Amino acid sequence: MSESDVQRVIGRLVEQADERSAQVIYDLACRAGYLWCCGNTGCRAHNPRGRRYCEGCGWGPKGRPVGDITPSLYAVPDRKWRALRRAVAAHFEQLGTPMPDAVVFDYFGGPGWRGAEVRAMYGGRCKEIADGFRDRDAYEDIAAALDGLTRFEKPAFGEHMRLVLAS
C-alpha cells in the first residue's frame, strides 16, 4: 500500500469516527509509524511519516521550532553559511514577497547544493521553489554561495539543509 493510500485510509477512518475514536485511530497510526504527532504542545497536529515539519505550525516531531541545520555533518566555515543566508534573503527582498521563516534544501543529485530541491517555509506552510536555485545566471549570488558550500563539502544523497531567515 502506498503512502498516499495509507493517508487516505486514515483520513476516511477519522471522518467516520467520533472524537474519542478519532484519537484512538491517531494513536494507533502513530504507534504503527504512519503518522507522527507534532511536539509543539500548542499544536499537537498529526502529520504523515516522511514529512519533516508539522503542517499545523512548522515545528518538528520533537517540539522544536525551525532552526538551522548545518549543510553537512562536517563543520562548514561560518562565512559560507552567512553568504548563503544573505544571498537568499536578498532574493526574497528583490521579489517583494514575504520573507519565509526558513528555506529548506534536500539534495537528491545534481550540481552540488545548487541541484537540491528547495522549499520556502512560511509558518506551517511549505511552498516549493520550482527548479530550486539551479540556474546560475538567474540566481548568481545564491548559486555562488551554494557552489562555495559544495566545494567545501559535496552533499550526500538525501542530505538535508535548513536555513533560517526570520529573526
Q: What is the mean pLDDT of residues 97-111?
A: 87
What is the pTM (predicted TM-score) of this model?
Answer: 0.64
Rounded to whole angstroms, the Cα distance separating 25 from 14 reads: 7
Beta bridge partners of 105: 118, 161
CB neighbour burial string for 4-37, b if at least 16 within 10 angstroms, e if fewer? eebeeebeebeeeeeeeeeeebbeebbeeebbbb
Q: What is the mean pLDDT of residues 117-125?
A: 83
pLDDT digits (tens, 9 = 90+) for 69-97: 666 666 778 888 888 999 999 999 998 88
Position 109 scores a pLDDT of 85
Rounded to whole angstroms, the Cα distance separating 130 from 14 reads: 33
pLDDT digits (tens, 9 = 90+) for 141-161: 999 999 988 888 888 888 888
How much of the chain is in helix, strand and coil states, percent to nearest 5?
Answer: 35, 15, 45
68 or 104: which leads in pLDDT: 104
16 or 63: which leads in pLDDT: 16
Q: Are 81 and 71 in contact (CB under 8 A)?
A: yes
Residue 165 has pLDDT above 90, yes or no: no
Residue 167 has pLDDT above 60, yes or no: no
